[in-house]
């Protein structure tokens, strides 16, 4: 296997005459790999796809860009990659303004954006060879090894000779990812990288993302799967209807939502009655479980438990369940994680 080619750091401009339009200070550029200010995209008349987005993606993070279908994820990614112009606002990637600095920035970025462009009549391998050939910085002598390594990383070696038009959605997705991995990059931007993959494929991509991140690559990935973001990301931003709801370290986002009090018992009716008497709100009752909002700071959990037992409730389990990112999303938006109407 060929040794990875080190990529020199992207030089930050030292010019102060505004030549490259880099409004972001060099220090900001080093800390955050993606930065947007009031980034807005309006399609047609009044369709606001992205609305005043302020995003900060720290270096070396695995950043999850989370939102239901139609919330503006792909539109944002297209603006970040310089594929479409924002209606207003600014974006910088690797410390450079986009789309102005597209040509200097993109060689350092591997991207997989919705529906990777493939030549259907070429094999997966030949698609990658073609892709690699289009990169002026790619050494032709090491091309075959590079392509073989990328195919191997995404688990496509066995299918590499097959025509791309015969690939399943998941295989196409893997091929697009392989293209993004041909060169070591400072930043990977992956739009729904596990789209179309089966559970095993999703696990493989997640572990690949972790592996890339452990090498220091910043990974920005969009998803509409909350648990996927929880499993793989260090940071996340939550979008709904084109607007940023929140962003930050995943642990903090989940902690922002309160967990649930969970009582497991064969006597759920009695348990619910006692909990209600004790002021526990938002009770849900199933066959063997009662959940509710955690008690306020004035209530001792041990006393609550004792009250259940005293009332004859057979308690099999009692405790606070950690809030998930999904809880946080629901708490923040006041709605389920559904497609905007
Ligand atoms: N080219 C376009 N012309 C007009 N409207 C568009 C265009 N692209 C996207 N939109 C609209 O902008 C909004 C955001 O779409 P976008 O594709 O960015 O969402 P998304 O979060 O990527 O969704 P998904 O999870 O389904 O991929 C949607 O209402 C969509 O219909
Ligand atoms: Mg999308």
Burial of residue 218, with CB atoms counted within 10 A of its CB: 0-12 exposed, 13-18 middle, 19 or more buried? buried
Q: What is the pLDDT of residue 12?
A: 40
Dist CA 212 CA 160 (whole Å):
22
67 lines ligand 1 (CB under 6 A): yes
Residue 192 has pLDDT above 60, yes or no: yes
pLDDT at 65 over 50: yes
Q: What 3-state DSSP class applies to 310?
A: helix
9 confidence band (pLDDT: 50, 70, 90): very low
pLDDT score of 15? 35
Task: Answer whether residue 87 shows pLDDT above 80.
Answer: yes
- Residue range 230-236: mean pLDDT, rounded: 91
Ligand 1 and 40: CB distance under 6 A: no
Write out pLDDT tens, residues 41-55. 999 877 899 999 999
Among protein residues, the one whose CA lies closest to atom 25 of ligand 1: 69
Secondary structure, 3-state, 35-56? EEEEEEEEECCCEEEEEEECCE
Cα(93) to centroid(ligand 2), Å: 19
- The arithmetic mean of pLDDT across residues 153-175, rounded, is 91
Closest C-alpha residue for ligand 1 atom 5: 43
Compute the distance between CA of residue 23 and CA of residue 91 in angstroms, rounded to an integer.
10
How many angstroms does the Cα of residue 70 sit away from the middle of ligand 2? 7
Q: Tokens 């509710």 — which residue?
A: 292
Per-residue pLDDT, averaged over 260-279, amounts to 95
pLDDT digits (tens, 9 = 90+) for 136-158: 889 999 999 999 999 999 999 99
Mean pLDDT of the 18-35 span:
55
> How far away, in angstroms, is 132 Cα from ligand 2 center?
26
Does residue 8 have a pLDDT over 50? no
Model pLDDT, residue 144: 96
pLDDT of residue 335: 64
Query: Which alpha helices (DSSP H) does the chain contain, by range?
Result: 26-31, 73-80, 102-105, 124-133, 143-153, 169-180, 199-214, 226-232, 250-256, 268-277, 301-310, 325-333
Q: Which residue has the tokens 């596990």?
A: 194
Residues of the chain above pLDDT 90, percent: 57
CA distance readout (Å), 28 to 18, 33, 36, 107, 167: 17, 8, 12, 20, 42
Name the band, by pLDDT with cuts 50, 70 and 90, for residue 317: very high
What is the C-alpha to C-alpha distance for residues 216 and 170, in angstroms, rounded to an integer? 26
Give the chain's domains with CATH numbers.
Answer: 22-253 (3.40.50.300), 260-321 (3.30.70.100)
Q: Between 197 and 7, where is the model more confident? A: 197
Are 147 and 132 contacting, i.e. CB atoms less than 8 angstroms apart? yes
Residue with token string 């005043």: 52
Tell me the best of 55, 65, 73, 80 to mutate to test the pocket of ligand 1, counting ligand atoms within 8 Å of each CB and taking the most: 73
Q: Is the pTM of this model over 0.95?
A: no
Tell which residue, 282, 299, 303, 300, has the closest CA to residue 291.
282
For the Cβ of 74 lying below 6 angstroms from any atom of ligand 1, the answer is: yes
Confidence of residue 17 (pLDDT cuts 50, 70, 90): very low
Q: What is the pLDDT of residue 152?
A: 94
Helix or strand run (H / E) with residue 184: none
Mean pLDDT of the chain: 85
Give the residue, out of 42, 43, 66, with the most ligand 1 atoms within 8 A of its beta carbon, to mutate for a pocket test.
43
Q: Which ligand 1 atom sits nearest the alpha carbon of residue 50?
A: 14
Question: What spacing in Å lies between the alpha carbon of 336 and ligand 1's midpoint?
Answer: 19
Residue 326 has pLDDT above 80, yes or no: no
> Is residue 71 within 6 Å of ligand 1 at its C-beta?
yes
**Ligand 1 contact via 195 beta carbon (within 6 Å):** no
Percent pLDDT > 70 in the chain is 87
Report the C-alpha dihedral over residues 134, 137, 143, 148, rounded to 10 degrees: -90
pLDDT at 27 over 80: no
26, pLDDT greater than 60: no
- Does 325 score more than 90 pLDDT? no
Phi, psi of 261 (to 5 degrees): -80, 130
Atom of ligand 1 nearest to the CA of 41: 12
How far apart (Å, rounded) are the C-alpha atoms in residues 143 and 67?
37
- Tokens representing 39 are 């980034």
Ligand 1 site, residue 70, Cβ cutoff 6 A: yes
Give the closest residue (by CA) to ligand 1 atom 12.
49
CA of 314 relative to ligand 2 center, distance in Å: 48
Structure tokens at 252: 């903090």
Pick the more confident residue, 107 or 266.
Answer: 266
pLDDT band at 203 (very low <50, low <70, confident <90, very high): confident
pLDDT over 60 (residue 11): no
Residue 114 predicted with pLDDT over 60: yes
């Amino acid at each position: 296997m060929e040794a990875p080619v080190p990529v020199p750091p992207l030089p930050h401009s030292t010019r102060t005459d505004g030549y490259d339009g880099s409004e972001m200070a060099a220090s900001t550029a080093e800390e955050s790999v993606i930065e947007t200010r009031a980034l807005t995209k309006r399609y047609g008349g009044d369709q606001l796809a992205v609305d005043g987005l302020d995003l900060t993606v720290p270096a070396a993070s695995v950043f999850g860009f989370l939102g239901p279908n139609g919330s503006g994820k792909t539109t944002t990614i297209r603006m970040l990659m310089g594929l479409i112009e924002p209606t207003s606002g600014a974006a910088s990637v690797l410390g450079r303004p986009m789309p102005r600095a597209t040509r200097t920035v993109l060689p350092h970025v591997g991207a997989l954006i919705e529906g990777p462009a493939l030549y259907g009549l070429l094999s997966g391998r030949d698609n990658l060879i073609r892709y690699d050939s289009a990169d002026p910085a790619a050494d032709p002598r090491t091309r075959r090894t590079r392509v073989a390594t990328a195919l191997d990383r995404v688990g496509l070696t066995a299918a590499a000779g097959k025509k791309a038009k015969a690939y399943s959605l998941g295989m196409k997705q893997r091929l697009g990812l392989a293209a993004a991995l041909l060169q070591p990059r400072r930043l990977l931007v992956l739009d729904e990288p596990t789209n179309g993959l089966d559970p095993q494929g999703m696990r493989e991509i997640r572990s690949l993302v972790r592996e890339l991140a452990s090498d220091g690559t910043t990974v920005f990935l969009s998803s509409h799967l909350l648990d996927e973001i929880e499993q793989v990301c260090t940071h996340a931003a939550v979008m709904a209807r084109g607007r940023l709801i929140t962003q930050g370290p995943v642990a903090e986002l989940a902690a922002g939502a309160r967990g649930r009090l969970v009582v497991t018992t064969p006597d759920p009716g009695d348990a619910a009655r006692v909990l209600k008497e004790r002021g526990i709100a938002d009770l849900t009752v199933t066959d063997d479980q009662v959940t509710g909002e955690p008690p306020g700071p004035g209530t001792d959990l041990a006393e609550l438990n004792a009250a259940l037992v005293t009332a004859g409730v057979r308690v099999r389990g009692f405790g606070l369940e950690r809030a998930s990112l999904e809880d946080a999303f629901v708490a923040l938006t006041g709605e389920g994680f559904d497609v905007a109407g």
